[in-house]
Structure 1
């Protein structure tokens, strides 16, 4: 597809109505004819600046921020492919909480939160397509494509701003995960504090990286082969749990980026053994919303085999609430 026009370098001020949105999403909405890859490339190289400084695409813009923009080549908009109907139906079945301001979906492993290379549908695109009456539906945070579990989406800019501020506080939103890692995790190792940096070769532990804090507790041991960990994510760096556990010498099973192929083969199964199992945070009215999700059914077969006993039937606990308003637990 050939470019049909170019924009001139410019500056723009963020209006109040868009405060709290991710910078990359705001830019994609403002410049619909500009390929997403071009926007991301300018962000990586510093061609797009916020208040004179290089900014990450995940930065939550604020009212009055001044964006400095380069010239963009604008292309004719290509017809959008609708997300697969099966994905839309699957995600609707996976909604575990919903009210007038937000919803929480139990994201299946392998489904990206947004469309990327090689994927026709992501969580946000599929649910937006199914909910044209909710034009402000947005992701409050992210999960890796390979990670399953609880994901918050907001329905209003006000709730997006509110949750963005909570996430920025570090521990205001409790985020619990469970992970199957290599070897015998030391009981004394309850906090991982290595700083994390993004580099051209990926996310790594680096002395000059961003502060990162992950808390862990042993839930179950499988001899010296593997350990099932309860993990609390305090900061939310990209790939934080995966990088921290790998750096500690105990990579997560099924992690093809930071993991151990031999360990993954020994464990068996498929996919990344990292599941977002719990969320708890205060709502604007002062009540606390707590939502939990059991580990995937397929994990139990792996646990049984690692424990040396025959696989049992379906042991999955909890209930899937469907239809209408889906209440979580408030306390």
Structure 2
């Protein structure tokens, strides 16, 4: 064993149904975690990787039953992983709102990242894998910001992952978020179309801004309730850019309450003074076709306690309260 890692032996791996149609390079990257991409592409280029004893290219598509020869490579020694505790596993399992043989959907709590990294020992996907050691395949279909709560899809089969990600690419999956924004959102403003550009601050933190050099982005809006000083809106992203709803809302002059990245300091301080404890953005509903059957599905997720309590507090405050939802409706969304 070297200081860098361990030298593996030659392996022959049979391609399963879940990997049918997968590219050779992607298959190898999953099999050889910890091995640099440059090494993976080099062993393919040199002919050391064989499929059914024949040479292949990185973009060769595998078929169920294929025999893949994986040559000896040096893999980094695995660090001892910090396993999620039983309590956090139970919390995540109890947050599952839908599950079948192909996928599951979780009402992710605010404050939990979807995956580990960047100083985090684990995220939602690692917790689910720890809670289901028998599960052969669990992968995120899409992502949510750490501070955003609500519905997120997880595939239990590679075929389901391919199907759902293809549906996302073709904009056939509809996502509807509920956001509490500062000020009175004008009912006439039902969409924000502004290109978004990702950039980094000097400390390495990633941000997004409206910029003509950015990618085309569109979010549709519908006012649900107007309170004194705030509005509850439904925001439905047509495109899927990083921080899209947060930046589009701020660009429209109505940043999301509790947003420490895109809300001005005075407004953020005022929200905190009212007892605001979180980013007021919740992935409330998903509309999609089920993998396999194609049956139409709509799922909704109740608010967590901090989100629901804040709305109830605003509903009881004197002032504007023009609404398509009353305080009882809000309470139902939180507890149902």
TM-score tier (shorter) = 0.7 to 0.9
1:205 aligns with 2:221: no
Q: Is the 8 A contact 1:218 1:229 kept in 2?
A: yes
Deviations 1:218-262 (A, max 9, x none): 111113x11111111211111111111111221111111112232
Q: Is the 8 A contact 1:98 1:104 kept in 2?
A: yes
Q: How far apart are 1:64 and its partner, in Å?
A: 4.7
Q: Distance in 1 between matches of 2:306 and 2:145?
A: 19
How many equivalent pairs are there?
Answer: 282
Residues 232 and 29 (structure 1), Cα distance of their counterparts in 2 relative to 1, 3 Å cut: same
1:259-270 aligned at under 5 Å gives the runs 259-268=263-272, 269-270=276-277
Residues 27 and 237 (structure 1), Cα distance of their counterparts in 2 relative to 1, 3 Å cut: farther
Q: Larger RCO: Structure 1 or Structure 2 (Cα < 8 Å, ≥ 6 residues apart)?
A: 1
Give 2:173's aligned residue.
Answer: 173
Q: Secondary structure at 1:88's aligned position in 2?
A: helix
Residues 273 and 160 (structure 1), Cα distance of their counterparts in 2 relative to 1, 3 Å cut: same
Give the structure-2-normalised TM-score. Answer: 0.74
1:253 aligns with 2:257: yes
Give 1:305's aligned residue.
Answer: 313
1:315 aligns with 2:317: no
The farther-off stretch of 239-248 and 153-162 is 239-248
Give 2:231's aligned residue.
Answer: 227
Q: Which runs of 5+ in 2 are unaligned?
A: 8-15, 42-57, 63-72, 202-206, 319-326
Q: Distance in 2 between matches of 1:174 and 1:236?
A: 11
Answer with 1 or 2: which has the greater Rg. 2
Deviations 1:35-65 (A, max 9, x none): xxx88xx9xxxx9xxxxxxxxxxxxx98659
Give 2:80's aligned residue.
Answer: 79
Residues 197 and 26 (structure 1), Cα distance of their counterparts in 2 relative to 1, 3 Å cut: farther
Q: Secondary structure at 2:209's aligned position in 1?
A: strand
Residues 20 and 123 (structure 1), Cα distance of their counterparts in 2 relative to 1, 3 Å cut: farther
